Amino acid sequence: MTENFAMTTMQAANELHVSIGTLLRWVHEGKVPACKIGDRKYLFSRSALEKLLNNQALVSGSNQPPAAGAAAN
């Protein structure tokens, strides 16, 4: 299945129930996959974010990043 990079940073942050700053920190740490567009924009794969949520790598409200490689399952 081809991943669809269609979610903006704001949409992805809302999906994960975290702030945009937290999401961008996780991207820079390599803990959340993203496709960088230009100097400052990112797009996120809905299926990759769903996989993170389904694996309970992110616990809503805890603001803890997923473990490195958590999405590699």
Q: Write down the domain spans for the chain.
A: 5-64
pTM over 0.75: no
Which H or E run includes 43?
A: strand 41-45
As a whole number of Å, the CA-based R_g of the chain is 11
Cβ proximity of 66 and 58 under 8 Å? yes
- Judged by DSSP in three states, 59 sits in coil
CATH T-level fold of 5-64: Multidrug-efflux Transporter Regulator; Chain: A; Domain 2 (1.10.1660)
Of 14-18, 31-35, 48-52, 53-57, the range with the lowest mean pLDDT is 53-57
Is the predicted pLDDT of residue 14 greater than 80, yes or no? Answer: yes
The HSE-up count of residue 40 (CA atoms within 13 Å, CB side) is: 2
pLDDT attached to residue 18: 92
Q: Is 2 left (phi over 0), alpha (psi -120 to 50) or beta?
A: beta
